[in-house]
Amino acid sequence: MADMTGKSVLITGASRGIGAAAARAFAEAGAHVALAARSEEAIASIAREIGGNALPLPCDVADFGAVSDAVRAVVKSFGRIDVLVNNAAVIEPIARMETVDPAEWATALDINLKGVFHGFRAAMPVMAAMGGGTILTISSGAAVSAMEGWSAYCTAKAGAAMLTRCADLEGREKGIRVIGLSPGTVATDMQKTVKESGVNPVSRLDWSDHIPPAWPAQALLWMCTPDADEFLGRDVALKERAIRRRVGLPT
């Protein structure tokens, strides 16, 4: 496990799933952790579980002001921000393009794409002024593969992957490390929603086909180390056995 002692980490979408698992993993590795999400009660509960090194921050990533405030709160509380994990995302609406509600489609882009941009925009100048940092974004196979009923999700994830490339291009010389993580299918509430939809092959996967949230959380820790530097500006695919071996996960 990476030693994150003295480091400060901001995780969006930290109320459940990968975000909550990442908060626990980074805290276990010694980091100060800020949990950002709309679910105030959930992040407060997880912060109490983690203890004194955890800070709950109510935040809607679709609102740039809220994300910027969260970054400032991290710096005020912990003195700096070393890592941002852009994790917040929604899978809905799940619907074919000829029937999907345009307002719901736009809302998904506000969270899944603009929310990622807001994280980059808020954190990059602060990290640059402090000499660098790491920004990790949860990507998806949906960034490169069209899926029935997932036009909003696929479009947003494709855009987020390009944001990773752009942020690396603009931030690397300032000491900012930018990497995406494509975790595969993970046993979270999102997958329950997918299962209930009955749309496309992912909904027909058995629950045992999904990996536990602790696995991508462990991968995010590894991505903070120099061993992951060869992946700067692109996505790490956790489905690859070689990657799992390097992270220390079952293959």
Polymer length in residues for the chain:
251
C-alpha span between 218 and 45 (Å, rounded): 22
Query: 3-class DSSP state for residue 247?
Result: helix
Instruction: Scan for tokens 């299962």, then name that residue.
Output: 195
CB 185 within 8 A of CB 211: yes
Give the ranges where 51-89 is alpha helix by DSSP (H): 64-78
The CA distances from residue 207 to 28, 63, 202, 210, 211, in Å, are 27, 34, 10, 6, 9
Is residue 153 annotated as part of the catalytic site, yes or no?
A: yes
| 177: enclosing H helix or E strand | strand 176-182
- Please tell me which residue in 153, 215, 222, 231 is annotated as part of the active site: 153
Residues involved in catalysis? 153
